[in-house]
Structure 1
Amino acid sequence: MINDAALAEKPTLHGPTITLVPLAAHHTEPMWRFTADEETNRLTGTRQAFTQDQIRTWCATRAEQPDRLDLAVEDPATGRFLGELALNDLDRDNASASFRIALTPGSTGRGIGTEATRLLLRHAFEEVRLHRVHLEVWAFNERAARAYEKAGFILEGRARQAHHWAGEFHDVLHMAALRDEWLAARAQAY
């Protein structure tokens, strides 16, 4: 059912304004700066501080992971690092995986997240042949929720006050994209 080679062989995916490339050791410096950003951590729920060596090891070992896909978002003209995204937590029995994305602070609000998400969903559904891709987003991150909807995710539910951050509880939105629905919507767009 799942095409394991489409996860194990890390692709380069080209969009109109961005390129998704395999996350690698040369992404260490911008990734480390990015993971130290307070607003990025708030939007992603990252609580742990990482050392540059930890980030270097993470970036350098992503290509070795046969059951997940970690890609850097880059500007194709300059090669500048704009963020990263992943298909992870693969569930072979149910042909599903989790999705996450985080963009650098200067890369938000320009449609990059929607474009990157669409590129990865196309790969997930057409090449990996997943049935379902799901995510969680904090309810206060309305910009991300809108980008996910534009890319094909549908709100499935809300976990009330399930995320605690900076002394407050926040709702968590559960969203998913299904292969058949995504393919049908894509066919209607053309």
Structure 2
Amino acid sequence: MSRNSGMLWGEKVYLRPLNGEDAELYYHMFYDAETRRLTGTQKHITKEQIAAYIGRKAEDDSAVLLLIALRDNDETIGDIAIQDMDRNNRTANLRIAIGDETHQGKGYGREALLLMLDYGFGILNLHRIELEVYAYNKRAAHVYESVGFVREGVRRQTLFYNHEYHDVVMMSMLENEYRERYLSSKVK
């Protein structure tokens, strides 16, 4: 897919919609053992199931699923989604994954988060965006806090992964918190 199909643009990354041609890429990108651990993915999924998932997401008006690609070479490195949108209460859930470890810790995820938050609070007119992160994923929790997500609580021993129970940390950001942090500096 070319950069012409990009939907949201940052300095290092752009976000673009998935299409049926992305099933193979998506399958391989998220089959890595470490990516599965960080996302808590336990189920093994076939390429056909991935293709069906992409098709369902394309028809789902309560979700926006985008791939994260590098601007300099168009390499797809992850995905990000605003999902489970509740239009009446203006709330949604956010999730993100960067597939390959070589792309982690370089600011790509942070930039993709900020692009999606701008889209969620601006274009989608959301009031609250929430997410969950496993307690062992300290790097992701740090990034979420650094962009302004607030810890709300812990769901104890929610995930049973690799023969151990793990806590899930719940976080959120409100529209006014986002606007105060990011839009007030643009106006000045």
The TM-score normalised by the length of structure 2 is 0.90
Match of 2:36 in 1: 41
2:175 is equivalent to residue 179 of structure 1? yes
1:140 Cα offset (Å): 0.5
Residues 35 and 50 in structure 1, CA contact (< 8 A), matched pair in contact too: no
Residues 6 and 14 in structure 2, CA contact (< 8 A), matched pair in contact too: no
1:60 Cα offset (Å): 4.1
| Structure 1 runs, 4 residues or longer, greater than 4 Å off | none
Corresponding residue pairs, total: 181
RMSD after superposition: 1.7
SS at match of 2:106: coil
Relative to structure 2, which stretch is displaced further, 170-179 or 180-189?
180-189
Unaligned 5+ residue runs, structure 1?
1-9
1:63 Cα offset (Å): 2.7
Question: Among 121, 125, 150, which residue is 1:129 paired with?
Answer: 125
1:183 Cα offset (Å): 0.3
Question: Among 70, 73, 77, which residue is 1:75 paired with?
Answer: 70
2:139 is equivalent to residue 119 of structure 1? no
- Written as runs of structure 1 = structure 2, the 5 A alignment for 1:79-118 is 79-105=74-100, 106-118=102-114
CA deviation vs aligned residue, 1:78-137 (integer Å, no higher than 9, x gap): 221110011111112211001111111232111111110110000000111100000110
Instruction: Provide the C-alpha distance between the structure 1 equivalents of 2:165 and 2:150, rounded to a whole number of angstroms.
Output: 23
Match of 1:168 in 2: 164
Instruction: Provide the C-alpha distance between the structure 2 equivalents of 1:113 and 1:124, rounded to a whole number of angstroms.
Output: 16
CA gap 1:178/1:36 in 2 versus in 1, 3 angstroms: same
Residues 42 and 161 in structure 2, CA contact (< 8 A), matched pair in contact too: no
Instruction: Provide the C-alpha distance between the structure 2 equivalents of 1:51 and 1:113, rounded to a whole number of angstroms.
Output: 26
Instruction: Provide the C-alpha distance between the structure 1 equivalents of 2:144 and 2:103, rounded to a whole number of angstroms.
Output: 16
CA deviation vs aligned residue, 1:25-77 (integer Å, no higher than 9, x gap): 22222211122111111110111111111112223443322221000001123
Residues 98 and 134 in structure 1, CA contact (< 8 A), matched pair in contact too: yes
The TM-score normalised by the length of structure 1 is 0.89
Residues 27 and 81 in structure 1, CA contact (< 8 A), matched pair in contact too: no
Question: Among 17, 20, 38, which residue is 1:22 paired with?
Answer: 17
2:147 is equivalent to residue 151 of structure 1? yes
Unaligned 5+ residue runs, structure 2?
none
Look up the equivalent residue of 1:58 and give its one-letter code. Answer: Y
Relative to structure 2, which stretch is displaced further, 32-41 or 55-64?
55-64
